[in-house]
Amino acid sequence: MDNFLSIFIADDNKINRLLLQSQLEDYCQNITLAADGKEALSYLQQYKYDLILLDIQMPYLSGLELVKIIKKIDSINQNTPVIAITAQIPTPQHKSLSRSEFDECLIKPILLEHLEKVLEKWLAIPPSENKITIELTVDYISALLQRTSGNILLTTTIFNKLFAELPEQLELINQAIKTENYTAAYEITHKLHGSVSFCGFSDLQIPAQALEKSLITHKKDLIHSSFDQLNNKMTDLMEQQNSILEKLSLL
């Protein structure tokens, strides 16, 4: 671990922030977290960082807006590498991303090996030789423990947050679709997609991404079928809530 390097992470999704912090803390002790663009700007205008990771879609200021400010000539972080964090889905923002001042882009779900390549390239930090591999019969537990480097307490915390948030988000998406407020439905789906992607839940990530894409088209039949697929997968996860938490308590 490097006690002198500093890394900044801005993402409006708390689960994403926790997982990124968990993945990076073996390499860097000084990690600053921000929950939205406004909070991020306050930090970035006051403190110098060695690496900056910005989610593209955030309240108040997006990652695309922030990077323009960061890269200004008089900015304290003008020469700091800035990495975009985004979902792999074609949107107008992605066209802007290709023309932006980001130094690199990480696609969700962000695996540790992808982060290690960024650290090696921009901070000259070599990959860890002590990789943790955990094989469990429960896929959800195994996937999330891989993301948290085997941190059972953090994994349990994130599962509890997921079990509280995901049903609420799904109901908000459902209500937005019923009222044909596809912009709101897209924004909530994007956040949900980010959470399940970061956690490595590919069976939820795929239908969430499909729903995101369908909401851009505004095609009702496609939207409803995509939502139904996501709802079915979400039901499967929620039915395992007690089993997952019980197994984690025994680890």
- Burial class from Cβ neighbours inside 10 Å (0-12, 13-18, 19+) for residue 239 reads exposed
Q: Identify the architecture of domain 139-250 in CATH.
A: Up-down Bundle (1.20)
Higher model confidence: residue 48 or residue 95? 48
Pairing of strands 51-55, 2-10: parallel
Distance of alpha carbon 227 from alpha carbon 134, whole angstroms: 32
Residues 95 and 91: their CA atoms lie apart, in Å, by: 7
Interior angle at CA 136, CA 134 and CA 142, nearest 5: 65
* Closest-CA residue to 14 (of 184, 191, 204): 191
CA 72 to chain centre: 26
Evaluate if residue 52 carries a pLDDT over 50.
Answer: yes
Q: Tell me what pLDDT residue 92 has.
A: 53
Question: Phi first, then psi: what are they for 114, rounded to 5°?
Answer: -70, -40
Residues of CATH 1.20.120 domain(s) within the chain? 139-250
> Looking at residues 144-151, what average pLDDT do you find?
87
pLDDT at 198: 85
Per-residue pLDDT tens for 155-175? 999 999 999 999 999 999 999
CB 109 within 8 Å of CB 197: yes
On the question of pLDDT at 89 being above 60, the answer is no
Pick the CATH number of 2-123 from 3.40.50.2300, 3.40.190.10, 3.30.420.40, 3.40.640.10: 3.40.50.2300
Beta strands in the chain (DSSP E): 2-10, 28-34, 51-55, 82-87, 104-108
- Report DSSP state, residue 60: S
pLDDT tens column, 171-224? 999 999 999 999 999 999 998 998 898 888 888 888 998 999 899 988 898 999
Task: Give the residue range(s) of CATH 3.40.50.2300 domains in the chain.
Answer: 2-123
